[in-house]
Amino acid sequence: MAEDPTKAKNETVEREEKTLEFWNTNNIFRKSEEKPAPEGEFVFYDGPPFATGLPHYGHILAGTIKDAIPRYKTMRGFRVRRRWGWDGHGLPLENQIEEELNIKTKRDIEKLGVERFNRAARERVLRYADDWKKIIPRTGRWVDMEHDYKTIDSSYTESVWWAFKKLHDQGLVYEGFKAMQLCPRCGTTLSNFEVSQGYKEITDLAITVKFELLEEPGTAFLAWTTTPWTLPGNMALAVNPEAAYVKISMGDERFILAKERLASIEGAYEVLGEFSGKELVGKKYRPIFDYYKEAAIKNIENAWRVYAAGFVTMGEGTGIVHIAPAFGEDDLLLAQQEDIPIVHHVNVDGTIKPEIRELAGMQAKPKEDPTRTDVEVLKLLVQKNLLYKKEKIIHSYPHCWRCETPLLNYAASSWFVQVTKIRDKLVAENKKISWIPEDIKEGRFGKWLENARDWAISRSRYWGAPIPVWKDVEGRQVIIGSIAELKARIKKSGNRYFVLRHGEAEHNVAAIASSRVDAPYHLTDVGKEKIQEVARQFKQEGVDYIFASPLMRTRETSEILRSELDLPSDRVIFDDRLREVNFGEFEGRLAREYNAYLSLEEKFVQPPKGGETIQAVKERVGALLDEVEKSYTGKKILFVTHEYPAWLLTGAALGANVAESIELKKILGNFDAPGECRELPFVPIPHNERYELDLHRPYIDSIQLLDEGGKPLTRVSDVFDCWFESGSMPFASNHYPFENLETFNPEGGIFKRRRGFPADFIAEGLDQTRGWFYSLLVLGVALFNHAPFRTVIVNGIILAEDGRKMSKRLKNYPEVLEVAHRYGADALRYFLLASPLVRGEDFNFSEKGLSEAGNKIVGRLNNILAFYSLYHTSFSSKEVSSTHPLDRWIIARLKELKGEVTAGMEKYELDRATRPISGFIDDFSTWYIRRSRDRFKREGADKEAALATTRMVLRELAKVTAPFVPFIAEHIYQNVRDADDPESVHLVDWPMIPEVTATEETLLDAMAEVRAIVSRALEARAAAGLKVRQPLPRLTLKVSKLAFEQDLLALIEDEVNVKEVVFDDHISGDLVLDTAVSDELREEGAIRDLLRYLQDRRKQKGLAPGERVALEIGADVYGKALLKKFEEQILQTVNASSLALRDFSSTEERVEIGGHRYTIILHV
C-alpha cells in the first residue's frame, strides 16, 4: 500500500522518516538486542497475525504496547528478543480463497482439487507481507521481520505434532463423538471459544408439537422446541421423573404436560389427572414423521418412547423435551445412556437428506432467512394436525465467527484435548499471572477457565497442519510425533540410491560452463581413472541400474561403469532430466561468470537469458527420483549426473527448501569434485511441487504408512484447529524439542534452568482472552506444567470517532499510513498508550486527539530543542550547578517524572507511565522555558546555568520518552548527546531515579502555589480588560510561606506584570489586583508593545538571536520622547547597535503600537 505522493509531508513526518533511515543504516535495533544485558533475558512472545490484509488499528495498538515494554526493558539492562511471526492457517484464510475462487461449498473444493485449493492458500498467506514490513516499522515498532516464523512451515508443524503426541501419551487427547457447533458453510465443527465469538440476537420460531400416545389415541404429549428443523430427527421425549405432570382436556383433544407449565396453556381446559414423571417413562408415541419408521437403524426398537432425564426443567416450554440425539448435547448424552438411535437427517453441509422427501436439499438454518426451513416444518405439522402453538422468540444464537452462517448443534467425531482433566491446574496457574487490567484474571478469563470444557482441536478442512493420526482397518491408532517417526513408518521400495558426478572432463579443466547435449567435451584420462576406481568400489555390492544424463561426459562415465560392472546395455538408461542446468547465455563461457551472475538464492527464481532456474532443475530431478522409486523395488540404482543436478537430487530427496538447499550446497561443496559418489539418503516423504517437505494435504495423504506388522495405515483426514497451532507458538516457533535448545528449553531442573519459557510478557486484545491467551495457557500447562506467561496486557477495542465499530464499508476511519503521514507515528503512539485502551477499555479514535498529542508532545519538544539550539553554540558548561529557583524546580520535576514513569512501567500500567510526560512537557515548555527566555539572552553565569539545565533535562527526557515516542526522543538525543555517548538513545541505560528530597518537595509545592496565584491573577487582569504587557502597580495576597521567598515572588511579579507583591491578611479574597494605571506605567506598557512588535519583525526576517540590527524609527514629538526615555532597554532587548530617530515621512506606512504611531525600519 503506497503513500499518496501528492500529499506534502510535514516537518515531523520528514524527521521521523530520517530517523527510521538512521536506525536502519546503523542497525540500531540489532545493536539493542546485542548490547550487554546484565539483567539477563526478558522473554517476550509475539502472537502471529494473519497477513491476508493490511494492518488495522487493532494491530497497531497491540504492536505499540509490544514495542514500548521491550524498549523499556532493554534500557533497564535486559536482552529482549523480538521475533515476528505469521499465522497462515485456518478458516479466515480458507474463506478468502473460497471467495476468490467462487467456491460455495466443500464439495466445490473437492471438485477443484485439494492441491490447487491449498496452493492458492499458500500463495495468499503472505500477499500483504511487504506492506506489513513497511507499515509496522513506520509506526516505530522494532521487531525482527526478516527471521520470522510461520505456522505453515513444516518445522513448526513438526513441533505441533510432538505436542499432540505428548498430550496423547499423557492421556490428555482423545477421539470422541460429541454434540458440537457445526458451521455448515465451512463444513467443520468449531471449538467453544470460537463459538463464543459469534453470538447474535435473532428472531426465531418456537413451536409446541403434539406427540400422540400409541396406547391412548386422542391423547398427546406436548413438547416445545426452538429448533423445528430438528423434528424429522426426533427419536424420543424426555420428562423430569421427579416433577408432577397432568392430563388436561381441551375440546376433543387431551394433552399431557408438566403441572408447573399449565400457565403456558391458552384457553379453557379441564385437568383430568395428575401423575409423576416416573409414571410416563417408557410410554410409546406415534412418530410425528415416519421417514425412519421402517429404516434399518441400530437400536430402532428404543425409538419414540419417553425417557427420564434430570436436565428437563420447568423454566420454559411444557416440561417435556423433544429429543433429536444428533442435534443437542443433552439429547446425545441421553441417547448414549439409553441406547436411543442417533439419526442425522441433516448433512454436514447443512442440507436436509433425500429421505426427508418434502424438505430434501433445503438448508436447515439458511443464512439469509434462518426460519425458512422451520416454517416448512411447521406447514407439514399443520397438515398432520400436530401443531399446538407457534410463537416468535428473540434470543442469542451462535454464528460462525468467520462467515457469519448460523451454526448447527451437531453430533460428530472430533479430536479433543481433555481440558477438564487439568482444569484445576489451569485455574491455579492463572492465579500466578499478572493481568492488566487485573479484573480479567478472576472475571472474563477466570470464569471461562472455571467452566472450561474439553477442547475440540480437529477441523474437517483442508488448509491446516494435519492431525498426525493414522489407523488400521480395525481402527487401531498410530500417533506420529516427528518427521523421523514419519519416515520410519513410510512404505519404502527397498531401493538404495547413489549419486555420481561424472569424471573430470575437458570443460572442467578449461573451467567452461557446458550444458548442451551436443557439447563435445570428453572425459580426461584423470577422469577415466577416477570412474574406474568408483566402478571397483561398486563391484562387490553391484549396481542394478544406471540412470544417466545424455551429455557426452556422462555417457562416457556410464559406459565405463557398465563395462566394469558387466551390466547389460538395457540397464543403462539415459534421461534428459539428469542433464546439467541450462546455462543459457553463459553456455561456453567461463564458469565463474555464471557463478558471479547472481546469488544462489536469486538463481532459484531468476534464470539467465535462454536458461533455466535452479528450482526447475530440482523439480525435474525430483520427478525422476519419484518415478524410479515407484517403478523399482529392492534395487541398487546409480544416478550419473552433473554438479547442480547431483546437489539438487540430494535437496529433493531431503525435501529441502531454498534456504536449506543453499546450506546443503555449502556442505556438499561442488559435490566435492568430478567423480565424487555418495549414497542418497532417500525416503519418499510428503512434498509439494517444488520438492520441498510439505506436511499439508494432499501431500501427507499421498504417502503410505505401515504399522509394525507391515499392514497399511490410513490417516484421519482432519487438520488442526488453528488456535492449537498459534497456542503452540512458544515452542513451535523454536522447533522444540528438535533444535534450538540453547535458546528454548522449558524443562527446568535442579541443575539446569528453563530457557525462553515462560514469557515475562505478552500482549493482545480483549478478544484473545478466549483465543490465544487460552490456547497458550492450556498447552503450556498441559505440556510443561506451568503457565506460559507471567504478565499480560489486554487492550480494548479502538472504535471509530462516532463510537461505532471501525468499518471498511462505512469508511469511518483514516488508514494507518495516512495518519502517520499527517500527524507522525509518535503522535499516534502517545495517543494510544495514554488512553484507556491499554487497560482493556474501549476508546474512540479521534483525529483531534491525535493532533493534540502531536502538538503538545512532539511539537513542544521540538520547539524546546529549537529554542535551545539557538543559544547552545556559545555554551561550554555541561555540569548543572544552579541555585536559580526555576532550574532547581525543573530538576525536581524531572526527578518526579522519572519516578512516575518508572513506577508505571514496572507495573505494566502504560497509561500511568505515559500521561505524566505530557504534564512535564507542558511545565518545561510553558513555564520553565518561557520564564527563562530572558536568561538565555543575557550573557553570564545565569545564562550558562539555564543552558546547562535545559540540556540536562533534554538528555534525560529523551531517555524517559524513548519507549513511548521513539522518533522525537532520538531526534532530541542526537542534538544533545556527547561524542562518547552511545550512538542512539535506544542504546543507553534507563536514567537513574534519585529520590525527590524534602527541600525539593517544598519547592515543588511552592511553585505549584506560585502558578495557581499567577493563574488567578491573570484571570483578574482579563476580567478588568487589561492586557498582560501593561504593567500594574501591585498584587496583594494573603500571608503565606511565599512571603519569605523573594525569588518566587519575583516570578509572580514578572508573570503577572506587577511592580510589587504585597501581603495583607485583611483582604476579602485570596488576592487583590490593583488595576490603577499611572502615566508612567502606561508608558512602560506602550514600550512593551513596541518591543514585542520589533521582536516579531526580527523573527520575520529569520534573524538569529546573536545577529545585530540597526533601528530607524519615525515618530511624532511624544513618540520620540518615549523612545529616547527607553532607548537603552530597546537596544538591549532587540539586540540593536543603534537607534536613529527621525520625523515621519509622508510616503511611509505608519503602524500604531501602544497608542503611538511609528514608521520602523530594521537594517541588518
Domain ranges of the chain: 35-87+128-198+402-464+720-795, 200-398, 493-682, 819-996, 1004-1077, 1085-1163
At 806, which amino acid appears?
M
- pLDDT, position 1147: 67
- pLDDT, position 591: 93
Asked whether the predicted pLDDT for residue 809 surpasses 90, the reply is: no
Q: Is 315 helix (H, G, I), strand (E, B) or coil?
A: coil
CA distance 496 to 543: 9
Q: Which residue has better confidence, 559 or 873?
A: 559
Asked whether the predicted pLDDT for residue 555 surpasses 80, the reply is: yes
CA distance 217 to 203: 35
**Is 504 annotated among the ligand-binding residues?**
yes
Q: Is the bond preceding residue 437 a cis peptide, omega within 30 degrees?
A: yes
CATH code, residues 493-682? 3.40.50.1240
Asked whether the predicted pLDDT for residue 351 surpasses 90, the reply is: yes
CA distance 1110 to 660: 75
- pLDDT, position 7: 46
Question: pLDDT tens digits, residue range 1123-1149?
Answer: 899 999 989 888 899 998 888 776 667
| Residue 1068: all three cell numbers together | 476579602
Whether the CB-CB separation of 1098 and 1109 falls below 8 Å is answered with yes
Question: pLDDT tens digits, residue range 760-801?
Answer: 999 999 989 888 999 999 999 999 999 999 999 999 999 988
**Is 1163 annotated among the ligand-binding residues?**
no
Mean pLDDT within 568-573: 96
Confidence of residue 758 (pLDDT cuts 50, 70, 90): very high
**Is 562 annotated among the ligand-binding residues?**
no
Mean pLDDT within 124-131: 88
- pLDDT, position 9: 62
Whether the CB-CB separation of 1058 and 1034 falls below 8 Å is answered with yes
CA geometry: angle at 540 spanning 539 and 541, to 5°? 95
Percent of the chain at pLDDT exceeding 70: 98
Q: Which CATH architecture has domain 200-398?
A: Alpha-Beta Complex (3.90)
CA distances from 427 to 440, 447, 550, 784, 787 (A): 13, 9, 68, 15, 10
Whether the CB-CB separation of 493 and 632 falls below 8 Å is answered with yes
| Residue 1: all three cell numbers together | 500500500
- pLDDT, position 2: 41
- pLDDT, position 6: 35
Confidence of residue 388 (pLDDT cuts 50, 70, 90): very high
- pLDDT, position 439: 94
Asked whether the predicted pLDDT for residue 719 surpasses 60, the reply is: yes
Cβ burial of 225 (10 Å; 0-12, 13-18, 19+) is: buried
CA distance 972 to 123: 44
Mean pLDDT within 922-928: 94
Asked whether the predicted pLDDT for residue 810 surpasses 80, the reply is: no
Question: pLDDT tens digits, residue range 987-1013?
Answer: 999 999 888 999 989 999 999 999 999
Confidence of residue 670 (pLDDT cuts 50, 70, 90): low
**Is 508 annotated among the ligand-binding residues?**
yes
Instruction: Indicate if 493-682 has the same CATH topology as 35-87+128-198+402-464+720-795.
Output: yes
**Is 102 annotated among the ligand-binding residues?**
no
CA distance 57 to 55: 7
Q: Which CATH superfamily is domain 35-87+128-198+402-464+720-795 in?
A: HUPs (3.40.50.620)
Q: Is the bond preceding residue 737 a cis peptide, omega within 30 degrees?
A: yes
**Is 687 annotated among the ligand-binding residues?**
no
Mean pLDDT within 671-678: 85
CA distance 924 to 943: 17
Topology of domain 1085-1163 in CATH is hypothetical protein PF0899 fold (3.30.2320)
- pLDDT, position 187: 83
Q: Which residues are catalytic?
A: 502, 580
Mean pLDDT within 635-644: 97
Which residues, other chains included, contact 465 with Cβ-Cβ below 8 Å and sequence gap of 6+?
Answer: 89, 151, 156, 157, 160, 161, 695, 696, 719, 720, 725
- pLDDT, position 671: 65
pTM of the model: 0.88
- pLDDT, position 874: 54
- pLDDT, position 117: 94
Mean pLDDT within 951-959: 96
- pLDDT, position 4: 43
Q: Which residue has better confidence, 667 or 421?
A: 421
Q: Which helix (H) or strand (E) holds 861?
A: helix 860-871
**Is 502 annotated among the ligand-binding residues?**
yes
Which of 10-19, 186-195, 788-797 bottoms out in mean pLDDT, i.e. has the lowest?
186-195
Question: pLDDT tens digits, residue range 410-466?
Answer: 998 999 999 999 999 999 999 999 999 999 999 999 999 998 999 999 998 999 999
Q: What is the DSSP string of 193-261?
A: HHHTT-EEEEEEEEEEEEEEBSSSTTEEEEEEES-GGGGGG--EEEE-TTSEEEEEEETTEEEEEEGGG
Query: What's the DSSP call for residue 993?
Result: -
Question: pLDDT tens digits, residue range 847-904?
Answer: 999 999 999 999 999 999 999 998 876 555 556 778 899 999 999 999 999 999 999 9
**Is 786 annotated among the ligand-binding residues?**
no
Q: What is the DSSP string of 322-341?
A: EE-GGG-HHHHHHHHHHT--
Q: Tell me what the pLDDT averaged over the chain comes to.
A: 92
Q: How are beta strands 173-183 and 408-417 bridged, if at all?
A: antiparallel
- pLDDT, position 672: 66
Question: Any alpha helices (H) in 940-1027, and if so which ranges?
Answer: 941-961, 966-976, 998-1024
Using the structure block, give the residue that is written with the C-alpha cell 506444567: 785
Mean pLDDT within 100-116: 91
User: How many other C-beta atoms can be found within 10 angstroms of the C-beta atom of residue 978?
Assistant: 7
Residue (of 1007, 1011, 1061, 1012) closest to 1032 by Cα position: 1061
Percent of the chain at pLDDT exceeding 90: 72
- pLDDT, position 1: 41
Q: Which residue has better confidence, 742 or 964?
A: 964
Topology of domain 819-996 in CATH is Isoleucyl-tRNA Synthetase; Domain 1 (1.10.730)
Mean pLDDT within 199-209: 92
| Residue 415: all three cell numbers together | 479430536
| Residue 914: all three cell numbers together | 505515559
Whether the CB-CB separation of 894 and 814 falls below 8 Å is answered with no
Q: Which residue has better confidence, 822 or 8?
A: 822
Confidence of residue 134 (pLDDT cuts 50, 70, 90): very high
